Amino acid sequence: MAIDAPQATVNHLFTLLISQGDAGYIGEKVSQLEHCLQAAHLAQSAGSDDETTLAALLHDIGQFLPEDKAEAMMTEQGSVGRQGHERLGADYLAKLGFSRKVCELVGAHVVAKRYLTATDNSYYDDLSDASKMSLRFQGGPFTSAEVTEFERDPLFPAKVALRRWDDHAKSVGLAVPGLDTYHPMALRHLHLQSS
């Protein structure tokens, strides 16, 4: 029995998540995979559509790609992630056939952090130490012109929501649904894109 292209893509993608997912999550107390699963769970619990939930699940996929795809952002304390991982992830998912919305949300989770640090005084204080350190490499808070432009984006609310789920998806020992829960959703999504 032949495996269709969406099935092969989901299998490949989820194998990548599992194989890299036990790695430490740049100074956080959860693994990369735990972080992704918690973000997806938060999105789904908020009633998000499949595209937004998949973007939450896959937002850090650029961190999982082979080492030669991105430079590490190094501080005195060590790596705080891969430079440009959000763009790498968005491009990678686009090549796999994910929708423009999924790719845009994945590609914007860093700029949404820059937006929130510019518009919410308490937001920066609540960031983890690793996230504060990576912000320096990511361009720092938005300027007022960048804030205005970002707020005009039709996906602005979803981009900010995904960023907040990203920030809250760092709870040690939190029981959330496993990766297999999202397999049918990803498969359905890719079938829709290819039809």
CATH number of residue 74's parent domain: 1.10.3210.10
Count of domains forming the chain: 1
Residues 35-62: tens digit of each pLDDT: 999 999 999 999 999 999 999 999 988 8
Phi, psi angles (nearest 5°) of residue 60:
-105, 20
**Identity of the amino acid at 109:** H
Quickly state the pLDDT bin for 142 (edges 50, 70, 90). very high
The answer to whether residue 13 is domain-embedded is no
Q: What is the DSSP string of 120-134?
A: -HHHHHHS-HHHHHH
Per-residue pLDDT, 130 = 75
Residue 24 has pLDDT above 80, yes or no: no
80 in helix, strand or coil?
A: strand
How does DSSP classify residue 74?
E
Quickly state the pLDDT bin for 10 (edges 50, 70, 90). very high
Per-residue pLDDT, 192 = 94
Per-residue pLDDT, 16 = 87
Quickly state the pLDDT bin for 26 (edges 50, 70, 90). low
Per-residue pLDDT, 82 = 54
Phi, psi angles (nearest 5°) of residue 24:
-60, 150
The answer to whether residue 115 is domain-embedded is yes
The answer to whether residue 15 is domain-embedded is no
Residue 58's nearest CA partner among 112, 94, 7, 27 is: 94
Q: Which domain holds residue 72?
A: 26-169+180-194
The answer to whether residue 51 is domain-embedded is yes
Phi, psi angles (nearest 5°) of residue 75:
-125, 180
Cα 94 from Cα 99, distance rounded (Å): 7
Residues 117-140: tens digit of each pLDDT: 999 989 988 887 777 877 877 888
Per-residue pLDDT, 2 = 38
Q: Which residues are within 8 A (CB) of 121 and not within 5 positions of it... i.e. 6 or more apart?
A: none
Residue 13 has pLDDT above 60, yes or no: yes
What does the mean pLDDT of the chain come to?
85
Residues 66-110: tens digit of each pLDDT: 654 445 433 343 344 455 778 889 999 999 999 999 999 999 988
